[in-house]
Amino acid sequence: PAEPDLAGRHVVISAGGTREPLDPVRYLGNRSSGKQGYALARTAVARGARVTLVEANTGLPDPAGADVLRAGTAVQLREAVLKAAGDADVVVMAAAVADFRPAAYATGKIKKKDGQEPAPVALVRNPDILAEVAGERARPGQLVVGFAAETDDVLANGRAKLRRKGCDLLVVNEVGERKTFGSEENEAVVLGADGSETPVPYGPKEALADVVWDLVTARLG
């Protein structure tokens, strides 16, 4: 059994991918399965934490011992995460949050019209939940961990993202149509705001989760 080094701590974890509706039958979404976030939740429970998991569209069974909240869109995820973060020691944003949502929601199914070109879809920006949580810190000493899903210039983009978002740790993982999303394994470099770089070799998502908790517990003191 794992060391209960997160006993007495409340950790909030987001997992899955938001879906931004266009009309009652269609949405803009992404390929996140939620497996990395659920691995974080399971390992945190095993290490003694009180865990609140905010899940978006995963369809995965609830991890034993965690409180699970559900959110569909980025706006709903923000509301649930901010509420749960109020008394959290650690917030980990593993969810893939849509940066944009359709500017308008059609209450009826959008129809194609004979001989007409499709209308462009106008988008508006979604709130940046990670930047908000990291900027506001609901509690003194609260630790905020982000993920960066990158396809190119993975480390350079990760370093820039760590600064922009203002979090304490950023887990940089490479993604693609058949990479990381939905698989049981992951490979990453965990960047610290203190300049630290912790490479995590390819392996089960639980192993990466445990490295994240090791780095978190070292920083919680």
Q: Contact residues for ligand PMT (CB under 6 A)?
A: 32-36, 74, 93-97, 99, 126, 128-130, 146-149, 165, 173, 175, 180-182
Q: Which is nearer to ligand PMT, 35 or 47 (CB)?
A: 35
Residue 127 annotated as part of some ligand binding site: yes
Residue 83 annotated as part of some ligand binding site: no
Residue 81, token pair as written in the block? 């995460």
Looking at the chain, which runs of residues are DSSP E strands? 10-16, 20-23, 26-28, 50-56, 66-70, 90-93, 100-102, 123-125, 143-150, 169-174, 185-192, 197-204
Residue 123, token pair as written in the block? 């988008």
Q: Which is nearer to ligand PMT, 147 or 213 (CB)?
A: 147
Residue 129 annotated as part of some ligand binding site: yes
Q: Of 30, 57, 126, 173, which is the active-site residue? A: 30
Q: Which is nearer to ligand PMT, 9 or 35 (CB)?
A: 35
Q: How far is the CB of 125 from ligand PMT (least distance, A)?
A: 8
Q: How far is the CB of 158 from ligand PMT (least distance, A)?
A: 9
CB 216 within 8 A of CB 165: no
Residue 24 contacts by C-beta under 8 Å, 6 or more apart in sequence? Answer: 106, 107, 108, 109
Q: Which is nearer to ligand PMT, 24 or 203 (CB)?
A: 203
| Strands 169-174 and 185-192, bridge-based pairing | antiparallel
Residue 147 annotated as part of some ligand binding site: yes
| Closest C-alpha among 61, 60, 39, 59 to residue 51 | 39
Q: Is 30 a catalytic residue?
A: yes
Residue 164 has φ and ψ, to the nearest 5°, of -65, -40
Residue 181 annotated as part of some ligand binding site: no
Q: Which is nearer to ligand PMT, 45 or 130 (CB)?
A: 130
Q: How far is the CB of 186 from ligand PMT (least distance, A)?
A: 6
Q: How far is the CB of 130 from ligand PMT (least distance, A)?
A: 3
Q: How far is the CB of 117 from ligand PMT (least distance, A)?
A: 30
Number of H helices, E strands in the chain: 5, 12
Residue 205 annotated as part of some ligand binding site: no
CB 103 within 8 A of CB 120: no
Specify binding-site residues: 99, 109, 127-130, 147, 161, 165
Residue numbers annotated as active site: 30
Specify binding-site residues for CTP: 99, 109, 127-130, 147, 161, 165
